Structure 1
Amino acid sequence: EEQVIELSELLKKMFGRYLSVEVMNSLIENPSALELGGGRRKVTIMMTDLRGFTALSERLEPERVVQMLNSYFEIMVDVVFKYNGTIIEIIGDALLVIFGAPQEMPDRARKAIACAIDMQNAMVTANQENRARGLPELEMGIGLNEAEVIVGNIGSSKRSKYAVVGRGVNMAGRIESYAVGGQILISESVKQGAGEVLRIDGQKEVMPKGAEAPLTIYEVGGIAGPYNLALEERDPAPAALALQIPLRYTLLEGKDVGRKDVEGFIIKLSKNSAEIICSGPVEILGNLKMNLGDVDEKLSTRDFYGKVIRLSEANTKTCVVRFTSVPPEVDGYLQALRKHAVKPGER
């Protein structure tokens, strides 16, 4: 009995920060699952990442960056444990989580999606805390993939960690890279695993790096059944501007990558996105580097970034861009425009 208690305490010290109470208890009952080595397992993989965090961290004191990350992870880790997810790694501002190991989880796809929605909705609390501390707001993108991977304790007898290895992990990261702040994107395998309980708000065909064929990814807006969760709307409808705002943009990827200083005009603006008329072609999910036009030099040289999330059906040169990284000077300018330069009756 004394050995069991000692083992229990050891497991809590080793894995208590990474596993929920339910998963921890299953390991205590079956400690052989922690022996060095691994096995193949079907799991749902979640990758999360904060949007524009690198640029944000460069503007803040290191102590403030750590404070902001710790507060953010405190909230997110609690949500992951609520759905019995296993935290594999915290990499800077990113989280790698799996559902279905070390404990079997038949409904892992649904659980992972419910967890992702809950995490996105919990960003409201995280940002309330940030505002109270005088810190900037954060946005998170999430990608989910279902795959067979190798999971287990990998390393040496002196140092090992519970890890997951396989192409499915890389694919989860690729899917997450297409997500904008507040968005959840899933693979076909996750959609099939979850069944008919999902609210799908959109789908896109992409060609991720390393993929052998195009991949269809789906944007999730909610899940029915016992979870009954939906993403909370946080970005107000865009306001039509009284005057078009000139800008210049550079394509960062796609067939026309590298085209610099292409002219465009912002015609509608919300807190997190803009509707833009482009003079050159853009691609769905393409990343843009932008600079404001007709402003003073200090403001015009401040780069801001966005991802094309929608193309207009009526006008192929009009697109909606979701901002991914905006310096405070540019954000202040844009939000002042949104409040004071909208068309009458469209505020």
Structure 2
Amino acid sequence: MKTSDFYFDLPEELIAQEPLADRSSSRLLVVEKDTEKWQHRNFKDIKEYLHAGDCLVINDTRVLPARLYGERVGTGAAMEILLLTRKDLDTWEVLVRPGKKAKPGDKISFGSGKLVAEILEVIEGGNRMIRFIYDGVFEAILDELGEMPLPPYITHRLEDKERYQTVYAKHEGSAAAPTAGLHFTPELLKEIEEMGVNVARVTLHVGLGTFRPVKAEDILEHEMHSEYYVVEQEQANIINQTKRNNGRVFSVGTTSTRTLESVADEDGMVQAKSGWTQIFIYPGYEFRVVDCLITNFHLPESTLIMLVSALVGKDLTMAAYAEAVNERYRFFSFGDACLFLTK
């Protein structure tokens, strides 16, 4: 299967640059696999497709304000750091710009010295390993100085950091938001739970690899990025009981989907565990846990649109995307949503 099979034309003006004032007022394209039909709805209408006994699975990761702007100590040259992976208390793998000026031993100052990063080494892929030097609580300093690492296709400045967080975000560690969850409000979630729908929480810390394009023409040659996940026993029990009772599992986003499918056994039961996943879901994959998917509209030729195609079929996926473009839906992180139903 070729990467180009998942290409579609997207007018630039359909890329949402800012979140809507009301999270749940976005549009919702509902796609049914069996009938190959779709409906144009509002996201608040998601309640009509959930039934008592179903399970809604959300990813409660929290995005770090991982982009830092500072200056090189000694020269004053402007430098930018993007936090990728925490190795221990003060040591991080990061992306540095401009990279050529970031050599081992160099130091970068942020907030007039409130936070200082020392370059330890250059590692595979050109990233850097750094150690932070500071007084106080690192998380508090980062919250003060850091900015949200918005995707490259968003050019507008985000005034409220919390709008790039889900309302249920809890465990810090992501470099990008699980954007399908941005549509939920506390009120909407409460209404869903009051309907008798189970809500289960998993954690997958989203890495920047989610934005990495598939460069290989043969998708099987693509090397999937690795992301850290945690599934607690109590949450696994909720999901498994739903399946035993013949309820449906609605996964909120591709991150929740990748987590669930990474921890499922051969019988489709979810195992409580943590670790790193590089699961690559593309057409031909047999889903073990997920029945329905709530997700945003993804980039052409991305692993995310391939995942959707694995669930409902490539032809239906691409036809739905063509319909969304034709109907002027808003795309990507701050855009509208899709609900893909398989049962």
TM range (shorter): under 0.3
Which has the larger Rg?
A: 1
Q: Which has the higher contact order (CA 8 A, sep 6+)?
A: 2
In the superposition, the TM-score normalised over structure 1's length comes to 0.24
